[in-house]
Structure 1
Amino acid sequence: MGEVVNLSLASFRVGMLGFGGGPSSIPLVQKEVVEKYKWMDDDEFGDILALANTLPGPILTKMCGYVGWRVAKWPGMIAAIIASVIPTAFLMIVLLAFLSTFQNKPWVQGMTKAVIPIVGVMLLTLTLQFFQKAKDGLGWLASIILAAVSLVLMQFIHIHPAIIIVALILYVLIKPSRKSSEEKEKGRGTG
């Protein structure tokens, strides 16, 4: 039962502080799930982030739902989704009513503009952490090439990121692994 409470608190914090939508929530989810509660490591977090990006719907809800399921099955999943969605919906209604009342005030405009660089820094930090993990797995050259190709496909050819992720997943599943090729070569050399 303690983990369900922790899931609720973590999801609540992310839902309440994830100003700017799903992408700005990702570093907050990572902070709670990987660093604070240690429910998973960075590699698994990267995997669920990739999977969540391929599925339709809000990324925060999908990530909280998966983490909740992984930590405490059905009760955890339900608690995490409710804790991330309900307070956010309530806060959105209150905040939108407040902002529409005072939208022409300079301090409100300054507040909304000040959040943008903070979200940018949070996303940059997460991106650098992912590049470090990618370097350890693929190497710098492969990571940079994959990032550049992905950028071109998304920004200039306008291919949805989910299609790129699914294509990469299929490629990894279909291609023969380097290890099995090396084992076949060793088998030929000894026989």
Structure 2
Amino acid sequence: MKELFKLFGIFFKIGAFTFGGGYAMIPLIEEEIVNKNKWIDEDEFLDIIAVAQSIPGALAVNTSTYIGYKIFGLKGAIISCLGVVLPSFIIILTIAKFLILFLNKGCVEKFFAGVRPAVVSLILVAVFKLKKGIKKSLFSFVIIITTIILILIFKVHPILIIIISGLLGYYFYKGVNVDESNS
């Protein structure tokens, strides 16, 4: 039970103090779950992030639920999901109640002007950590460049890109043990 409270506290803290959504939370989750508590290893964490990105729903909710389930089963999934969602729920309720009072205040705008660059840097940290899990090959490079072009220039929906990339990866790596050849 003590470990479940600890899990809840970790995800509550991450949910309460991370602006910018799921990608900004990745380095914090990794620090707490992989580095400090050693509940899972780095490779497994990267796999969890890949799965969490591939299924519908918010990345933070998917990741926390998956990690909680992996560590402590169904109770862990519920506890970690509540931990990461509850702070946002409470904050949104509070903001909604008092929004009218602060809507025209310059201090709110200045606060978020300071938060935005920090959020961008947290997302960049997540990108650099996630790139470790990418198989270094011409195929991966082509997928990355093609994805960027398709999204930024041709406005192709990311879900379509994920599905096609997954199918291409399955076809391209068919018969290859990706873990052993990932260097």
TM-score range, shorter chain: 0.7 to 0.9
Summarize the alignment of residues 15-54 of structure 1 with structure 2, pairs less than 5 Å apart.
15-54=15-54
Summarize the alignment of residues 42-191 of structure 1 with structure 2, pairs less than 5 Å apart.
42-134=42-134, 137-139=135-137, 142-175=139-172, 176-178=174-176
Deviations 1:12-38 (A, max 9, x none): 011111223333333332332222222
Instruction: Work out the number of aligned pairs and report it.
Output: 176
Instruction: Structure 1: state its 5+ residue gaps.
Output: 180-191
What is the CA–CA distance in structure 1 between the aligned matches of 2:120 and 2:19, rounded to whole Å?
11
What is the CA–CA distance in structure 2 between the aligned matches of 1:178 and 1:138, rounded to whole Å?
14
Q: Secondary structure in 1 aligned to 2:46? A: helix
Relative to structure 1, is the Cα distance of residues 159 and 35 closer, same or farther in structure 2, using a 3 angstrom cutoff? Answer: farther
Give the superposition deviation at 1:70: 0.1
Deviations 1:23-75 (A, max 9, x none): 33333323322222222233322222222222222221111110000000011
Aligned to 2:4: 4
Relative to structure 1, is the Cα distance of residues 161 and 39 closer, same or farther in structure 2, using a 3 angstrom cutoff? Answer: farther
What is the CA–CA distance in structure 2 between the aligned matches of 1:66 and 1:86, rounded to whole Å?
17
What is the CA–CA distance in structure 2 between the aligned matches of 1:96 and 1:25, rounded to whole Å?
24
Give the superposition deviation at 1:178: 4.2
What is the CA–CA distance in structure 2 between the aligned matches of 1:16 and 1:112, rounded to whole Å?
16
What is the CA–CA distance in structure 2 between the aligned matches of 1:38 and 1:161, rounded to whole Å?
33
Identity across aligned pairs (percent)?
29
What is the CA–CA distance in structure 2 between the aligned matches of 1:100 and 1:155, rounded to whole Å?
36
Relative to structure 1, is the Cα distance of residues 158 and 37 closer, same or farther in structure 2, using a 3 angstrom cutoff? Answer: farther
Relative to structure 1, is the Cα distance of residues 143 and 129 closer, same or farther in structure 2, using a 3 angstrom cutoff? Answer: farther
Give the superposition deviation at 1:76: 0.4
What is the CA–CA distance in structure 1 between the aligned matches of 2:163 and 2:37, rounded to whole Å?
29
What is the CA–CA distance in structure 1 between the aligned matches of 2:106 and 2:132, rounded to whole Å?
40
Instruction: Structure 2: state its 5+ residue gaps.
Output: 178-183
Relative to structure 1, is the Cα distance of residues 166 and 7 closer, same or farther in structure 2, using a 3 angstrom cutoff? Answer: farther
TM-score by length of 1: 0.79
Mapped contact 1:53–1:161 kept (Cα < 8 A): no
Deviations 1:98-122 (A, max 9, x none): 4441222222110011110001111
